Amino acid sequence: MATNGTNRPFVVSDSYMTSPDEGDTVSTPIPPFTPVEPTYQAQPLVAPEKKRNRGSLMFAGFVVTGLVAGAAGGAVGFIAARESFPAATSVTSTSVFADSPSLPANGSIADVAAAVQPAVVQLDVNGAEGEGTGSGFIISDDGYIITNNHVAGSAKEDGINVLFADGSQAKGKLVGANAGYDLAVVKVDKTGLKTVPLGKSSTLRVGDSVIALGSPLGLQGTVTSGIVSSLNRPVTAGDESFINAIQTDAAINPGNSGGPLVNGNGAVVGVNSAIASLATGAGEAGSIGLGFSIPIDTAKRIADEIIKTGSAATPVIGVQLAMSFEGPGAKVSTVTKGGAADRAGIQVGDVISKINSQVISDGTQLIVTVRSFAPGDRVQLTIKRGDQTLTLPLNLTASKS
């Protein structure tokens, strides 16, 4: 569901889109579409396993699950890329995040890359869906690493091998993951590690320079650069992940997932998570300058909760949405009894048109906007009920799932 020239969300899904949380479950079938040339094929990818043969680079086949995406003017494919992420909010004083190392102030790309690379790692993962390669970045000197859920979330016991920039290796352990945010934390039993500072994605502007680091297609130590192309882009990748994304034209490819997107000072502003791609066949998709990163303000909160508790809460408002409703706005089909929306006075049939000042185009945008907040945050919902326009305060609650 994407319309040209608007900020309407791109959606990747199979026949159904279902959020994992009771407060924002989507269970309405997405209508079939008639592709218009050019056709974009939607398929999430796991980066290929790297064959370690001297003298040549050989790659195993991609692990592919076919999905369907509807769009006005063509289907848009989003490919889970196993790569980088945006900046950070404040956390409690007990946070494990290390103090920022000294980095160049608006240095050259080479300066920033040299400063950040020691904290970027490659993750070779043996998971439930096969073997693949992703990226991550070190946030504490005692071994905590942020990456994507689709990189490490389904890893088998002893199935994560971490490759550091200096050539050393260590076994990684999955601390926890949140599929809805496509985030995971991995821990290695090492100390004295180089870390990367976390910036603030809330201060990004369209046109800001950014740099992506990671291991696309298993090519460790790769650096690409570009700009912030758009902000607050509603993106879904797979059945569960709803991302209020930073869009960038820095080249991001399968294997970059979980790696950092950094600003000109070398501070992380995003976690690279998905790409849009013109896919001509299974395993043939690559960057076309449409990459998407999870804002670090969100990622830091989720990672900090995972480190402290092993899991992270997802904020919900306590409704189900009629995803077949084309908007503008998100139409409520069910209100959870006793939930936040019920207490706020939301009714079946209401159309949510704004959260605070953010205009809501449809159900997907409502979900990603809600997930940009934290449980306990108080928001203002603008509701259209027949001929009435109402403003209702609501306290977001945590998902029970």
Q: Is the dihedral of CA 71, 276, 229, 36 positive or negative?
A: negative
Q: Is the dihedral of CA 282, 287, 289, 291 positive or negative?
A: positive
* Band (157; pLDDT cuts 50, 70, 90): confident
Query: What pTM does this model have?
Result: 0.73
Q: Would you say 335 and 348 are in contact if contact means Cβ atoms under 8 Å apart?
A: yes
Q: Tell which wins on pLDDT, 42 or 79.
A: 79
**pLDDT greater than 80 at residue 84:** no
Q: Would you say 87 and 51 are in contact if contact means Cβ atoms under 8 Å apart?
A: no
Over the stretch 13-51, which tens digit does the pLDDT of each residue have? 222 222 334 344 333 232 222 222 222 222 333 344 443
Assign residue 150 a region: left if phi > 0, alpha if psi is -120 to 50, beta otherwise? Answer: alpha
Q: Would you say 362 and 330 are in contact if contact means Cβ atoms under 8 Å apart?
A: yes
Question: Which range among 67-71, 74-78, 173-177, 298-302 shows the weakest confidence by mean pLDDT?
Answer: 67-71
Q: Phi and psi (nearest 5°) for 6?
A: -130, 175
Over the stretch 313-327, which tens digit does the pLDDT of each residue have? 888 999 999 888 887
Q: How far apart, in whole angstroms, are the C-alpha atoms of residue 176 and residue 132?
A: 19
* Amino acid in position 107: G
**pLDDT greater than 70 at residue 203:** yes
Question: Which range among 19-23, 262-266, 270-274, 326-330 shows the weakest confidence by mean pLDDT?
Answer: 19-23
Can you give the length of the chain in residues?
401
- Name the residues annotated as catalytic: 150, 182, 257
Q: What structural domains does the chain harbor?
A: 315-398 (2.30.42.10)
Q: What is the pLDDT of residue 5?
A: 40
Q: What is the pLDDT of residue 294?
A: 95
* Cα 27 to chain centroid, rounded: 22
Q: How far apart, in whole angstroms, are the C-alpha atoms of residue 46 and residue 347?
A: 41
Q: What is the pLDDT of residue 231?
A: 93
Q: What is the pLDDT of residue 273?
A: 92
Q: What is the pLDDT of residue 156?
A: 86
